[in-house]
Each structure stands twice: as C-alpha cells, then as structure tokens.
Amino acid sequence: MAKRKKNKGGLAAALICLFMAAATLLRGGRIDLPAVSDALGEVSDAVSDLSQTPAEPVDGLFEMIALDVGQGDAVLILQNGAACLIDAGPKDARQNLVQDLRSYGVSQLDLLVMTHPHADHVGGMQAVLQNFDVQTLLTPDLSETDVAGQTQRTLQTAQECGVPVETAYTGQQYTIGTGTLTVLLPGVDADTAGSDDATNDMSLCLRFEAGNFTFLDTGDAERNEEAALAEQYPFRLRSTVFKAGHHGSSTSNTQTLLWQVQPQLVVASCGLNNDYGHPHREVIQEMQDEGIDFYRTDLYGTVTVTAQADGSFTVQTAKQPDEELAPAA
C-alpha cells in the first residue's frame, strides 16, 4: 500500500504557529485556539508518520541470544544470515531448542560449539545435528578424556551426518557473517585446573566480535582457568556482554576477570529453582556492586541482545521477573 506523502511545508507552518502561540501566552495575550488545534494535529500526524516508517537495515546488526534451556547453556549468535550455536543445553530441553532455533529462521549452523563435555551443555547436540545443516562441530581436546554418554553419542551422530569435527586451539578463528569468533583459550590441563571437576576447566573460552561489539563466553570455566585467561590476555578481554561463567557460580566470575572484561551486561543461564543455587548470592552482589546490568534466564527467560556495529545494543527478554535480582536459593 502506498504511503501518503506528508506536506513538509505544512509541518513547518504548524511549528511556527505553535511557537507564536507560546510567545503570545508568555506576553499574556490571547491565542487562536482552532489554529493551535490544527497545528497540533499536523505535528501529531508527522510524528505518527515517522513512527510507522520502517527503519533502514543497519550493516553489522547481529543478535546474541541466551536461550532458556533450563539448567544448561545454549547461546545463539546470528550475524548477517550466518548462525553459530555455542552449547546445546540438557537433553530434556532438546525439543524446545530445535523449535527455538527454527523460530529464529535457522536452517543451517555455520558452527556448533561444544565448550566442554558436560550433559547440560551437550544434551541437545544430537537433536541439533539431526535437524539442521551443521557445517562444523568445534570441541575441546577430548583425546585424554573418557568420552561417554551424551558426548560419545554427539560425536557418533556428527560422523553419521558427515559433519567435520575440529579440535579447538588458541587463536583459532571462524567467520560468522561479518563477525569473527576467536578461541582465546581451549581449556587448561588437569594440573592447572585444580578444581573439584577439572572438566569445567576444559571449557573453550570464546570471544565474538562484530564492529565495536564484543561477546565473551567462557563456558563453565572456573577460577583457575579464568586466572589463566586473564594472565594470557592482560587488558585485552574487555567485552560488551559476558555470559556468566558456570551459570553464575561463585567458583567462577572472579573479581579479577570482571575487572578485565568490564562488561556492560552479564547473562547467567540457569534453571528455575535449580539444585545448585545458581546464580550464587556472591555473584549477584558483585554485579550490583560493580553496577553491571545482570540478567538470568531462570527469571527473564530467553534474553536477546541486539547490537549495532557501533557497539550500541538493546535487550529484550521473554518475560519479566516478579522479583528483583535475588539468588535462586
């Protein structure tokens, strides 16, 4: 339907009329109410017309979507028609994950990333491999890991579907649309990890950059891997958005890392009333003390960050929480 072209001269005259009316009132005079009413109508029509005009597409626009998969991780990056999925949540969320990806128009994944072989990160990968055209599956080094369960089935399915599996290494890069995903750290060895569950410190630490906008995802990396990351990239980790490490656990998200990253926004992916108490009270308090905007999927549902190439962004959530940012337990 053709849009009616507004009379720009009429708008200018209306603004002059309103200005003169305001000046008359300031002098204590009387104004022509019908004329003022007509002028207000003209301005209102102009504003309405502007609001209905579709925005011009912005080069470099991309979305970072923390999908609500319950107690697990699944982050979708969309950039100029390309798509990357970092982790695929737990097995019981696989059907919703597939539906969500389709709802975003995804038919092909340029890259599917397994940050580490834990069920709450790989549980949905079989379904993703079976339902989408996956170009590459990126994993940490699994050569010295007892691969079993969901991880083993994921690798078997990738082979059956003809999807190449690549092992991550430091500095490895993938082009996603006009952005770049870089492997900052492919995990640390068990001696360096020193955590109760060294598998968490196998996590790939990834940074996506498009224009002036950056996103950091450290999987479930805990304090030892975070320290290694900060040591390897001193003053080079600053990112606009940070996915909270290990679902917002106090064993991750150290103050040292946050000071280096200086995120404007942090998203924790966790399940409602989960057994682990994620995100932990200490982490929530740290975000509040640092003045960082903090979102969590258990309260907000799926969190979508839409960014421009200049670094500006907006946030949209699937729901609004009934409570303030309080710990899950």
Specify the residue for token string 């600053």.
Answer: 238
Burial of 199-208, coded b for 16+ CB within 10 Å and e otherwise, reads bbbbbbbbbb
Indicate if the pLDDT at residue 228 is higher than 90: yes
Under CATH, which architecture does the 62-317 domain have?
A: 4-Layer Sandwich (3.60)
d(CA 266, CA 64): 12
Cα dihedral sign, 255-261-264-268? negative
d(CA 114, CA 245): 15
Burial of 151-185, coded b for 16+ CB within 10 Å and e otherwise, reads bebbbebbeeeebeeeebeeebebebbbbebebbb
Query: 118-132, 151-165, 188-202, 247-261 — which is least confidently predicted?
Result: 188-202
pLDDT digits (tens, 9 = 90+) for 176-220: 999 999 999 999 986 665 555 789 999 999 999 998 999 999 999
* Kind and range of the H or E run holding 158: helix 149-160
pLDDT digits (tens, 9 = 90+) for 15-68: 445 445 544 444 555 545 445 445 444 434 443 333 333 333 335 578 999 999
3-state secondary structure 107-119: CEECEEECCCCCH
Q: What is the arrangement of strands in the sheet containing 213-217, beginning at the earlier edge strand?
A: 173-176, 179-185, 205-210, 213-217, 241-243, 265-268, 293-296
pLDDT of residue 146: 82
pTM of the model: 0.80
Domain with CATH 3.60.15.10 in the chain: 62-317
